[in-house]
Amino acid sequence: MSLIVALVLLVVAVTSAWTIDRSLRGARWVEAAPGRALMVWHLAAISLGGGVIAAGALLTHDVLEHVMFRATGVSEDELHRVYAGGVELSPLWNATAAMVLAGMGVLFFHAAVATVTTSRSRRRLHEALEQNVTTAADGCDVVPSERLYAYCIPGNARRRSRVVISTAALQVLSTGELAAVIAHERSHLRRRHHRSIAAAEVFTRTAGPLRILPSYGAEVRRLVELEADDDAWHGAGRLSLARALLVMASPQHPSGSLAMAASATGERIHRMLLAPQHDRRLTSVLVVLAVVAAAIPPATISLPALYLALGA
């Protein structure tokens, strides 16, 4: 029984991920509602990862049964009857499943190390800025440079978040354009977009060899820029933001930062001028469906034990 359920979970998880990847990439509503699209992408990744983990837990059900015994107090014999269905898997099967899960763990660890490296890059940026910042305007750190750039650096418990802008950018941006740039960068910080990007990068590096949900990382990077654009144009106006993007079209920014014009500048300006609309009811339904899909794997492995516990 557990083998069939595990296979079903895997098929559903992979099929859902493939469908979402193909559907979201070219969907028009995504540009009109980048925040909701981000939520659907993240939920798709959670659903896929949860499906794989749940399937692995069912295939190596001895560990799952022990965990559920500790969590619910239901006897291990009853749990074994429910999860194994009276079928005893061979030690070779259990060892193979455990090796696959261990391999995935190694990939995840490698991806997490790469994310930690990005965090260290941010720390070095903070340290460099503490020495090079000459003044501050509108709460931003101003760095003397002949290059046009603006970016933000997320903070932590020990260091404050920063919005950084070059003196060259200050000289060429109008008051309205500067307000749009600052609003864009502060949106990144307020919405913690660096965490969305980090989660997508860890997932993409882990699942990359399998080419499952391959557009996740790139789409998250694109959508966080669109969401920050939305916040900026509501505060400073579309034209000011569009002009600021034109001025800052080809910035060079340090690793670990989120830059004003880091990607797809032309697409973003075109989007602002068109102001695309979307059906809020449709996007709400899509988000709800994504939440349900993400909840299926943990529910599948936990509900049988909870049912036994409540019935005892």
Whether 240 maps to a domain, the answer reads yes
Token couple for 225: 């820029």
pLDDT of residue 114: 65
pLDDT of residue 118: 65
Q: Is the pLDDT of residue 65 over 80?
A: no
Token couple for 182: 């600052």
Residue pLDDT, tens place only, 67-102: 787 788 888 778 777 777 655 666 666 666 667 667
Dmax (CA) of the chain: 75
Domain assignment of residue 171, given as a range = 2-250+267-274
Report d(CA 111, CA 50) in Å as an integer. Answer: 17
Average pLDDT over every residue of 129-158: 76
Whether 18 maps to a domain, the answer reads yes
Whether 260 maps to a domain, the answer reads no
CA-wise closest residue to 108 among 37, 56, 71: 56
- Check: CB of residue 228 under 8 Å from CB of residue 236: no
Report d(CA 153, CA 135) in Å as an integer. Answer: 17
**Helix ranges restricted to H, the chain:** 2-25, 28-32, 34-59, 61-72, 76-84, 91-132, 167-172, 175-190, 193-207, 216-236, 238-247, 265-274, 280-311
Whether 304 maps to a domain, the answer reads no
Q: Is the pLDDT of residue 112 over 80?
A: no
Residue pLDDT, tens place only, 130-144: 566 666 657 788 888
Domain tally for the chain? 1
pLDDT bracket for residue 20 (50, 70, 90)? confident
Residue pLDDT, tens place only, 246-278: 888 755 555 555 666 656 777 888 887 777 777
CA-wise closest residue to 138 among 119, 169, 158, 164: 164
Report d(CA 106, CA 73) in Å as an integer. Answer: 32
Task: Specify which residues 136 forms β-bridges with.
Answer: 141
Whether 40 maps to a domain, the answer reads yes
Residue pLDDT, tens place only, 184-216: 999 999 999 988 998 888 888 777 667 788 889
Q: Is 182 left (phi over 0), alpha (psi -120 to 50) or beta?
A: alpha
- Mean model confidence pLDDT for the chain: 79
Whether 67 maps to a domain, the answer reads yes
pLDDT of residue 181: 92
pLDDT of residue 190: 94
Of the spans 54-63, 85-94, 172-181, 266-275, which averages the highest pLDDT? 172-181
Whether 305 maps to a domain, the answer reads no
Average pLDDT over every residue of 167-191: 92
pLDDT of residue 277: 73
Whether 261 maps to a domain, the answer reads no
Q: What are phi and psi of 258, to 5 degrees?
A: -115, 115
Q: What are phi and psi of 260, to 5 degrees?
A: -60, -45
Average pLDDT over every residue of 51-69: 77
